[in-house]
Amino acid sequence: MAKCDVCGNDENMPYNCRHCGGTYCGDHRLPENHDCSGLENWNDPQGVFDSGFDDGVGSGESTSRAAGIVDKLPIDTGPGGPLAYFRGNMTYTFLALMWLTFAAQFVVGTFFGTETMRTLFVLRPYYPEYVWTWVTSIFAHGGFYHIVGNSIVLFFFGPLVERYIGSRKFAILFLVSGALAGLGQITIQTLQTAMVTPLTPGVVGASGAALAILGVLTILNPDLKVYLYFILPVPIWVLTGGYALFSIFFLSTGGGGNIAHMAHLVGLVIGLAYGQYVKQNRNVSAPSRLEFGGGGPGGPGGPGGPGGPGRGRF
């Protein structure tokens, strides 16, 4: 829990201004409400100040060029327009990209063949040099229930982490943890398989990133209550611990079917480590409970375990 630099009130979800570095509550998060020193250096003929909470607002000549390009688009990109919901909100931007990628998988597979689809979207042990799949595989999924399970976790937990660390750092956490989780999975597959071939299953799914998000929240507040099906209260550490034990068990026994257990563990470890870093440097905590309809052992979901996010093998 942090204190607002203006009013001194305790704040569970503080805002940090990237211009002056201060910590503020919701009432004082805007630069003009906390007498931000950055206001003195702002020179915008349109009178729009970059508050530090909207990465879509820039400054200087780069802003003018960007604005000129944006103005030419045939859609309303201004405040309140159809894209306003995604501005400064990476959680829902990534959710949208996941579903768009899922649709693209279907289109490419239908019209250009399965191999083309795999080349574009599946991170495979035989083709680790296809570096674009390090990213595209995060947003691609192996089936409808697979993407629904990961979407549920990202929808409910993603905004909490994004508020603590900011949209930019959240995006880095999501992409780096997702990519390293996938690379960790194909590495263990290569070590466990006598010879990988183009037909060796690859990996898709956002569960590495989803487990990283859960890991961050577990460190910030291990007793955060998650209401499975809006009925059963479960501490978040039970969920993350369940995922870890589930994945370790099947990795040690060589079972688990088409579930990328190593990807789960890599993502979780990254999240736990980053959560510890945030906790030491920011002194923040999560709220005491969260109503959630699934996403842990026992809830609805995809191939990633009993009801959780799944990074599936494909």
Assess if residue 241 is contained within a domain. yes
pLDDT of residue 296: 34
pLDDT of residue 85: 60
Instruction: Please tell me whether residue 281 adopts helix, strand or coil conformation.
Output: helix
Assess if residue 45 is contained within a domain. no
Whole-number Cα distances in Å, 177 to 128, 146, 308: 17, 18, 17
Number of domains in the chain: 2
The Cβ of residue 156 has, within 10 Å, a number of other Cβ atoms equal to 18
pLDDT of residue 126: 94
Average of per-residue pLDDT across 151-164: 91
Whole-number Cα distances in Å, 102 to 141, 256, 303: 6, 24, 16
Average of per-residue pLDDT across 195-213: 93
- Higher pLDDT: 62 or 132? It is 132
Same domain, 11 and 101: no
Assess if residue 217 is contained within a domain. yes
**Does residue 309 carry a pLDDT above 60?**
no
The Cβ of residue 128 has, within 10 Å, a number of other Cβ atoms equal to 17
CATH number reported for the structural domain that contains residue 234 in this entry? 1.20.1540.10
Q: What's the rounded Cα separation, in Å, for the pair 239 and 299?
A: 10
Handedness of CA 196, 198, 199, 205 (dihedral sign): positive
**Does residue 118 carry a pLDDT above 70?**
yes
Same domain, 248 and 123: yes
Same domain, 180 and 254: yes
Distance between start and end Cα atoms, the chain = 42
Q: What's the rounded Cα separation, in Å, for the pair 235 and 35?
A: 39
Structural domain boundaries, residue 11 = 1-35
pLDDT of residue 298: 30
**Which residues does 268 contact at the CB level (< 8 Å), separation at least 6?**
211, 212, 214, 215, 240, 243, 244
The predicted-structure confidence for 62-86, as pLDDT tens digits, reads as follows 444 544 554 555 555 555 556 666 6
Q: How confident is the model at residue 35 (pLDDT cuts 50, 70, 90)?
A: confident
Same domain, 98 and 27: no
The predicted-structure confidence for 225-272, as pLDDT tens digits, reads as follows 887 666 788 889 988 888 889 888 888 776 666 788 899 999 999 999
Assess if residue 52 is contained within a domain. no
**Does residue 156 carry a pLDDT above 60?**
yes
Q: Answer for the pair 123, 131: CB distance below 8 angstroms, yes or no.
A: no
Same domain, 19 and 97: no
Assess if residue 130 is contained within a domain. yes
pLDDT of residue 98: 98
Average of per-residue pLDDT across 190-213: 91
pLDDT of residue 284: 54
Q: What's the rounded Cα separation, in Å, for the pair 145 and 102?
A: 12
- Give the chain's mean pLDDT: 77
In the chain, count of helices (H) and strands (E)? 9, 9
Same domain, 107 and 207: yes
pTM (predicted TM-score): 0.68
Residue 77: is it exposed, middle or buried by C-beta count within 10 angstroms (0-12/13-18/19+)?
middle
**Does residue 53 carry a pLDDT above 70?**
no
**Does residue 297 carry a pLDDT above 70?**
no
Instruction: Please tell me whether residue 165 adopts helix, strand or coil conformation.
Output: helix
Assess if residue 97 is contained within a domain. yes
pLDDT of residue 274: 96
Q: Answer for the pair 56, 168: CB distance below 8 angstroms, yes or no.
A: no
Same domain, 203 and 127: yes
- Higher pLDDT: 189 or 302? It is 189
Query: For residue 233, what are its two tokens?
Result: 């209260």
Average of per-residue pLDDT across 160-168: 89
Decide the pairing of beta strands 2-3 and 10-11: antiparallel
